[in-house]
Structure 1
Amino acid sequence: MMKIQSFLLSLLALLNTSCSPEKSSIKLGAVLPLTGTFAIYGEQALKGAQLAVDEINANGGVLGRPLELIVRDNQTNPAKSVKLSRELIQQYQVFSLLGPVSSASRYAMTEVAEEFQTPLFYGIDYEGRHFSRYLICYSTIPEHYIEPIVPYLVNNVGDNFYIFGYDYIWPHRMSERIIESVEKHNGKVSNTEFTAFGVGDYTPVFERIKQSQANNLMLILPGQDGFNFLNQMASFDFEREIQVVAFAADETYLTNLPSSALDGVLTALHFFSSLEATAAQSFVTNYQKHFGQESVVTYSSKAHYDLIYLIAASLEEVGEVDKEKLIDALPNTTLYLGDSELRVREDHHVDLPMYLAQFSDGSLSVIKNLGTIRPGDQRSNSANE
């Protein structure tokens, strides 16, 4: 009799354990370009976010609940970004959105975020001046890298500039800020030119750059087209040295282009995998342990990794899973210490440590620490007002 009772008690305990509901996940919806022109940025963003989710879940989740990343490919299409964002909010009840990459898609997704009062976390370069209660930008904006770089080029290279970029919002706004800065530092812009996606032959552009006598080329052409441009540029005879500054150029360029097409190219970002800071090297080590030692680590992966941790930190501070309370708690939320510190501001942007780096002999190395740059309040003259 005692054996039967013992068995029944054990069985009852087992049933109670197996039938007790697990705490539901906190769902985060990621809308990113995983195919197409900007896929390299979307892929890196997704890996960074996934690493953060896996680390947080391995340590007990947030408020005792696991994070769950639900991913969709928007193919850099604003209309698709809207459709997918609505789907994630209405069908999957995601707590927040993460993404996209292009500015047109960001504006479109922000409208959805505002409609459904759902925070949107954005982690890539953009033109600045976009503010919404429901938009949080971990982004390099013009003040972060145009203002420091233009005087550096004027003093070290020359005062004649040529601007070439895609024909959409970010390059247009960037070119405006470059022109303002060049004029401020007594330089001149010989020409500003915009291009469609997918151009096969850039020879006519090179001819115009050659005739301009520009010393500096400000290249706002990230992704596959940027790779093609630099590859073709390497074999064109300009009859003089031209300093290229490639905006949003990161470590993925090293695996997509030969050294001959990259040597000497400058880029400025808030993170490079070669940084010696403890926080940076810890991230690189964990990333490569998770995805393989040969994995390329970029600023896009770091930004989206940090965004997930900012969500987690704010939720822990609030003590409950509440969208409005999260947004209220985000300003002044910080990550890391010392020179690596990141702080979310009242305008939902981030003060960022910035670095100027140069491609050389198959590597990308920092040549100048630009310090932590604190742009003006992005609510002032906001582009969406």
Structure 2
Amino acid sequence: MNIRKVFLSCAVVCSALLTSSCTQEKENIKIGAVLPLSGTFAIYGQQALKGAQLAVEEINRSGGVLGRKLEIVVRDNETNPAKTVNYSRELIEQQGVFSLMGPVSSASRYAMAEIADELKTPMFYGIDYEGRHYSRYLVCYSTIPEHYIEPVVPYLINNVGNRFYIFGYDYIWPHRMSKRIIESVAQYNGTVTNTEFTGFNTSDYTPVLERLKQSGAQNLMLILPGADGFNFLTQMKQFDFGREIQVVAFAADETYINNVDREALEGVMTALHFFTSIDSPIAKSFIAQYQDFHGEEAQATYSSKAHYDLVYLLAHALSKAGEVDKEATIDALPGLELYKGDMEIRVREDHHLDLPMYLAQFQSGDLNVIQNLGNISPADQRLKHDEE
């Protein structure tokens, strides 16, 4: 065989391989978002997706992560734990997602976390919940009881009164929240007059409002987010109590302004880690970017902010790990920080976050911050409460 021809043949093959290697675009790093985009908790799922989409767009515009673009693969779980399981498994095993994001309800979160643990896949959760859920593969950017029950209960006792009524959905989060409220009220020598739970899609709250009236409670701790909460507040405004009752609506955000009559919202308080009325360059910059991407009328909320930040935390962890590896990325998460000053957030060893907290109130059609509660660092969430 002609040696010169062999060398020429090899050169052609090697050249083709090098060209293919240099020009072949690296696969996207996929994030599987399983969120309620319809149904009772749709406002939280829709906002979560919008926040994540903005972060992905910004990161990709800046060159991506480790030379690869991020991509969101979306599924609507309709707040159904069974659908959450099916979609989570499908996204990992068939779509090849690197991580999961979502869902909203606690039942769906536990369901997704089981799949994340089984398939050793990072899972990023960005909604408030009852606390004490730890897994190596779960990261919770969540307000938990220590973030807003502990500071808000003494505020109410000092400024409103010491008698409390608790009303919420009949599922995990409201039950656990109720327990923590009762403990906190007792700590400050207050009284919980009633604790009551309801199913989804209740149409008439008159019996509850009658019991609230008779209780003599000055504070209503309302754990009824979403469409049912809108309906409850509307009916409450039309009811004659013969006295003022201060409502603290957990997980109430700016979306309530467009879904509940202004008079029905007036005076309602809520505590979260982000409001659009925060007087901070960081908050103003996020809102401007959000509206530039989603439109001038787009309403940012704490859910959109949390999921926006979660995508950035994932990107930073990947960069810190230096490779697209799930275990290395999980190891890189603790200690990561975003922002500085009053709005700083930090991922802890227990995969929960130290968060800035604010108390806000609906006033004349706006949701205004009335008190900065400071950056709150809850106890280690690996230390579990007794199961109820």
TM-score, scaled relative to structure 2: 0.94
From 359, 362, 376, the equivalent of 1:359 is 362
- Partner of 1:76, secondary structure, is coil
Match of 1:227 in 2: 230
Q: Is 2:100 the partner of 1:103?
A: no
Whole-angstrom distance in 2 between the partners of 1:18 and 1:296: 44
Whole-angstrom distance in 2 between the partners of 1:335 and 1:19: 34
Q: Is 2:241 the partner of 1:267?
A: no
From 277, 281, 304, the equivalent of 2:280 is 277
- CA drift of 1:20 comes to 2.6
Whole-angstrom distance in 1 between the partners of 2:343 and 2:302: 14
Whole-angstrom distance in 2 between the partners of 1:227 and 1:217: 15
- Partner of 1:284, secondary structure, is helix
> Given residue 380 of structure 1, which amino acid in structure 2 is its aligned partner?
L
In 2 relative to 1, CA 132–382 (structure 1 residues): closer, same or farther, beyond 3 Å?
Answer: farther
RMSD: 1.7
- CA drift of 1:382 comes to 5.9
Fraction of identical pairs, as percent: 71
C-alpha contact 1:129 1:383 (8 A) present in aligned 2: no
Whole-angstrom distance in 2 between the partners of 1:128 and 1:164: 19
Cα deviation, 1:126-153, whole Å, max 9, x if unaligned, reads 0000000010000000000000000000
- Tell me how many residue pairs correspond in the alignment: 373
Cα deviation, 1:16-42, whole Å, max 9, x if unaligned, reads 689931111001100000000000000
Q: Is 2:127 the partner of 1:92?
A: no
- CA drift of 1:321 comes to 0.4
Match of 2:140 in 1: 137
Match of 1:256 in 2: 259
Match of 2:12 in 1: none
Match of 1:3 in 2: none
Match of 1:127 in 2: 130
Match of 1:54 in 2: 57
Which deviates more, 16-25 or 167-176?
16-25
- CA drift of 1:320 comes to 0.5
Whole-angstrom distance in 2 between the partners of 1:364 and 1:335: 25
In 2 relative to 1, CA 18–376 (structure 1 residues): closer, same or farther, beyond 3 Å?
Answer: closer
Task: Give the unaligned 5+ runs of structure 1.
Answer: 1-11
From 204, 210, 215, the equivalent of 1:212 is 215
In 2 relative to 1, CA 44–383 (structure 1 residues): closer, same or farther, beyond 3 Å?
Answer: farther
From 339, 343, 350, the equivalent of 2:342 is 339
Whole-angstrom distance in 2 between the partners of 1:72 and 1:319: 29
Whole-angstrom distance in 1 between the partners of 2:347 and 2:377: 11
- CA drift of 1:314 comes to 0.8
Match of 2:7 in 1: none
C-alpha contact 1:131 1:382 (8 A) present in aligned 2: no
Match of 2:294 in 1: 291
> Given residue 57 of structure 1, which amino acid in structure 2 is its aligned partner?
N
> Given residue 79 of structure 1, which amino acid in structure 2 is its aligned partner?
A
> Given residue 261 of structure 1, which amino acid in structure 2 is its aligned partner?
A
Match of 1:379 in 2: 382
TM-score, scaled relative to structure 1: 0.95
1:169-180 mapped onto 2 (5 Å cutoff)? 169-180=172-183
> Given residue 271 of structure 2, which amino acid in structure 1 is its aligned partner?
A
In 2 relative to 1, CA 306–115 (structure 1 residues): closer, same or farther, beyond 3 Å?
Answer: same
Runs of 4+ in 1 over 4 A off after TM superposition: 16-19
- CA drift of 1:383 comes to 6.8
